[in-house]
Amino acid sequence: MMPQRTDVLVVGAGPTGLAAAVTLARRGVEVTVVDRAARPPVTSRAAVVHAYTLEVLDRIGAAAPLVDRGIASPRFTVRDRDRMLLSVGFGDLPSRHPYALLVSQSVTEAVLTDRLTALGGQVLRPYEMTGLDHDAAGAVVRFADGATVRARWVIGADGMRSTVRESAGIRFGGPDDPGESFVLADVRTRSALPRDEVSLFLARSGPMVWAPLPDGVVRLVASVAEAPREPDAGYLQALLDERGPARRPDRLTDVLWTSRFRIHHRIAERYRLGPVLLAGDAAHVHSPAGGQGMNLGIQDAVVLGDTLADVLAGRPDTLLDEYSAARRPLAEEVVGFAGRLTRLATVPPAGRPLRDLLLRALSRTPSARRRLALRLSGLTNRPG
């Protein structure tokens, strides 16, 4: 049942909200988690959990059960049809998780929910937050069914269209264009591509990510000019034919789930306003091309949960301003990185030979490959 008061209210039980709640619950903080959806989603969405995120999940006891349910991928490749332009290995990463874990987002959420339950917590559903007022003592949060809760702190982990962010009046800057359009699909294919590595195809019409998931499922993410409402098998086969391997093309055998979405690259102007704190997609959104969105959100959440637990234990609340100051530049970096990947894919024909030359040169330079591996794995975000 919804309490009248709580120390911390987490709005949103996606990967960010769940990771924040688990971190707080482990530190003995009284935390209430709400979500407007009656049930957790079952769709895959973000499919890659990187090495540094696994290290962060280790801290809250969630990495081991997740690793058990995913595919440990030793490398990431960039291709132009049949030509391998770049291969980035994760095997030498200075991490106890020297790989990228390929696993559906719904599994990541289920593992975090299990952790929360084991700590005596739960997600209250369906509760749609509709507004809040805040003062020096905290915030009063309103819900669609008329309920209200007084919370000392509110974590907005309610995704891209965050009501927490909007209610607090925090600006979500970015260009006014309609955003980048993506098609997503979970499919099965007969394919000659390795079943344990993510391949990023740089096609003239835009990048396409080919990511294997457990149980023979392949996740496709493609940037397209205009995504159809429901991409069907014919559309997806055409994408594979146009952007995937040419000599031994993938043959689609099954379409399990499809979706489309538009992404604006946006970052909240601040992650804290008084008792209101933002994390995950509520604070930053960007193209899924670099596979970083959910990773950054989980990292935000654990840092924020720990910082908030410290503040509730008596440390100064200016620590939370430091959270905002430290995390925001990381989102700026990811937005820049995702933008560069898209530009790399969509180089006009005249520039492609030079691009391919540069990528091959990068591929032959161990220090450059290592820097890229560290970057993709998120280990460049590791403090110290």
Ligand X SMILES: Cc1cc2nc3c(=O)[nH]c(=O)nc-3n(C[C@H](O)[C@H](O)[C@H](O)COP(=O)(O)OP(=O)(O)OC[C@H]3O[C@@H](n4cnc5c(N)ncnc54)[C@H](O)[C@@H]3O)c2cc1C
Interface residue list for ligand X (CB under 6 A): 11-17, 34-37, 45-47, 105, 128-129, 157-159, 163, 184, 221, 259, 261, 280-281, 288, 291, 293-294, 297
Pairing state between β 5-11 and 31-34? parallel
Least Å distance, CB 330 to ligand X, is: 14
Give the nearer residue to ligand X in terms of CB position, either 295 or 363: 295
Give the nearer residue to ligand X in terms of CB position, either 35 or 306: 35
Place of tokens 């794995």: 377
Q: At what angle do helices 318-345 and 293-312 cross, to 10 degrees?
A: 180
Least Å distance, CB 197 to ligand X, is: 16
- Residue closest to 184 by CA, chosen among 217, 214, 142, 215: 217
Give the nearer residue to ligand X in terms of CB position, either 81 or 260: 260
DSSP 8-state code for residue 197 = S
Least Å distance, CB 222 to ligand X, is: 11
Q: Which two tokens stand for residue 295?
A: 């990773």
Helices of type H across the chain: 15-26, 51-59, 63-67, 105-118, 163-168, 233-243, 293-312, 318-345, 352-363, 366-377
Place of tokens 């200075």: 94
- Residue closest to 305 by CA, chosen among 114, 1, 22: 22
The answer to whether 211 and 47 are in contact (CB under 8 A) is yes
Least Å distance, CB 185 to ligand X, is: 10
- What is the chain's length? 384
The 3-state DSSP class for residue 330 equals helix
- CA-based angle 213:45:347, to the nearest 5? 90
Give the nearer residue to ligand X in terms of CB position, either 14 or 249: 14
Give the nearer residue to ligand X in terms of CB position, either 63 or 222: 222
- Residue closest to 217 by CA, chosen among 258, 262, 246: 258
Give the nearer residue to ligand X in terms of CB position, either 86 or 183: 183
Q: Which two tokens stand for residue 81?
A: 């049809």
Least Å distance, CB 183 to ligand X, is: 10
Q: Could you give the C-alpha distances from 19 to 295, 325, 372, in angstroms and in order?
A: 11, 20, 26
Give the nearer residue to ligand X in terms of CB position, either 272 or 363: 272
- Residue closest to 207 by CA, chosen among 217, 197, 198, 194: 198
List, in order, residues 6 or more apart from 338 with CB less than 8 Å away: 265, 286, 287, 288, 289, 290, 292
Give the nearer residue to ligand X in terms of CB position, either 191 or 295: 295
The 3-state DSSP class for residue 37 equals coil
Give the nearer residue to ligand X in terms of CB position, either 69 or 260: 260
Give the nearer residue to ligand X in terms of CB position, either 170 or 363: 170
Least Å distance, CB 306 to ligand X, is: 17
In whole angstroms, what is the distance from residue 303 CA to residue 384 CA? 14
